[in-house]
Amino acid sequence: MPIPVILDCDPGHDDAMAILLAVAHPAIDLRAVATVAGNQTVEKTALNARRMLSLAGVTGVPVAAGCDRPLAAPLEIGDYVHGESGLDGPAFGEPSVPLDPRHGVDLIHDTLAAAAEPVTVVAIGPLTNIATLLRRHPEDRERIREVVIMGGSTDRGNHTPYAEFNVYADPEAAAEVLGSGVPTTWVGLNVSHQALVTADVLARIEALGTPLARVCVELLTFFGSTYHETWGFPAPPLHDPITVAYLIDPTVMTYERVGLRVELDGPHTRGATVADLHRRMDWEPNANVGIGLDRDRFWDLMIGAIEALGRAS
Ligand code: RIB
Ligand code: CA
């Protein structure tokens, strides 16, 4: 049975690839897409989500813009990685997918309320929408099967030395979602840095030879340029699609159930995620924290999605 999924995202180059994987694979029933301020402003992330669904030839999946700023933190956007548009690289035409007039949080709530069974929320941007949903509609906790989050890290950060961008951008939201009692699985940088878009991967995508594959190569080439400029990476880590790949095939990622905390007050470490992997603290295990990645399986799923959509569109 396909897994009902709501995607909460901030496209963003790697979010864009997560959208492709979610719409391409039959194991995923994508019910709705909400966007949030993060990699770019919420207006731009909503436009980019519409662009990617239009590119994939997908209709009937509502897209709505959610929160335009964090719960409490000042807004910081990731334009130094994703560019002025949030999807720099290719030239996009006007999307055919419309913008749903609802607020993204209302779209998530309505989608959960309409579902006959609990829905999996895939959250691959700052967690502002999800925390706001749980504040406004505590009854939705029961309607969410789990939240699979791209966020945090069991070691160092990226946006700051110890904080990963999605959690750093809205650490209060991350802490509230973590503490909400809704089951969470975290795909941190320690996992996503195992999924580098190497030259071999790029060549496999290029070899597909479809217009969609060419757009993906342009997206990933731009993404690689900013990752190299900013952090000296030889190839960019494709963070977000790992969440979707894990839902499709749970063997893609191994995890440990451990005590996890979000640092809110450290003057140098705010937004850091602290995973008690060696069980040194007396913390109740409260999260599934990703550890290992089956790269080959991940890339087969990701490239297989681009191939399938390229043939269809
Ligand atoms: O730190 C990586 C995360 O921040 C990814 O989700 C990327 O898209 C940005 O949102
Ligand atoms: Ca993202």
Q: pLDDT at residue 313 above 70? A: no
User: Is the predicted pLDDT of residue 312 greater than 80, yes or no?
Assistant: no
CA distance 128 to 282: 28
Residue 109 pLDDT greater than 80, yes or no? yes
- Number of folded domains in the chain? 1
Most ligand 1 atoms within 8 A of CB, residue of 239, 243, 273 to mutate: 239
> Contacts for 223-226 with beta carbons within 8 Å, 24 or more apart?
223/13, 223/14, 223/81, 223/82, 223/89, 223/197, 224/197, 226/80, 226/81, 226/82, 226/83
Q: How far does residue 152's CA lie from ligand 2's centre (Å)?
A: 12
- Per-residue burial over 24-59, b = 16 or more CB atoms within 10 Å of its CB, e = otherwise: bbeebebbbbbbbbbbbbbebbbbbbbbbbbbbebe
d(CA 60, CA 48): 16
What's the confidence (pLDDT) of residue 311?
A: 87
Phi, psi of 237 (to 5 degrees): -80, 130
The CATH number that applies at residue 213 is: 3.90.245.10
Annotate 263-288 with b (16+ C-beta within 10 A) or e (fewer): beeeeebbbbbbbbeeeeeeeeebbb
Q: Kindly report, residue by residue over 143-185, the tens digit of the pLDDT.
A: 999 999 999 999 999 999 999 999 999 999 999 999 999 999 9
Average pLDDT, the chain: 98
Active-site residues, by number, are 239
State phi, psi for 257 to the nearest 5 degrees: -90, 110
Measured in angstroms, how far is the CA atom of residue 106 from the centroid of ligand 2? 20
pLDDT in tens, 250-277: 999 999 999 999 999 999 999 999 999 9
- Tell me: the pLDDT tens digits for 55-64? 999 999 999 9
Domain that holds residue 111: 3-312
Phi, psi at residue 299, to the nearest 5°? -65, -35
Q: Does ligand 1 lie within 6 Å of residue 78's CB atom? A: yes
Distance 166 CA to ligand 1 centre (A): 6
Phi then psi dihedrals of residue 18, to 5 deg:
-65, -40
- Any atom of ligand 1 within 6 Å of the Cβ of 164: yes
Q: What residues contact residue 28 under an 8 Å CB cut-off, 6+ apart?
A: 2, 3, 5, 21, 22, 244, 247, 248
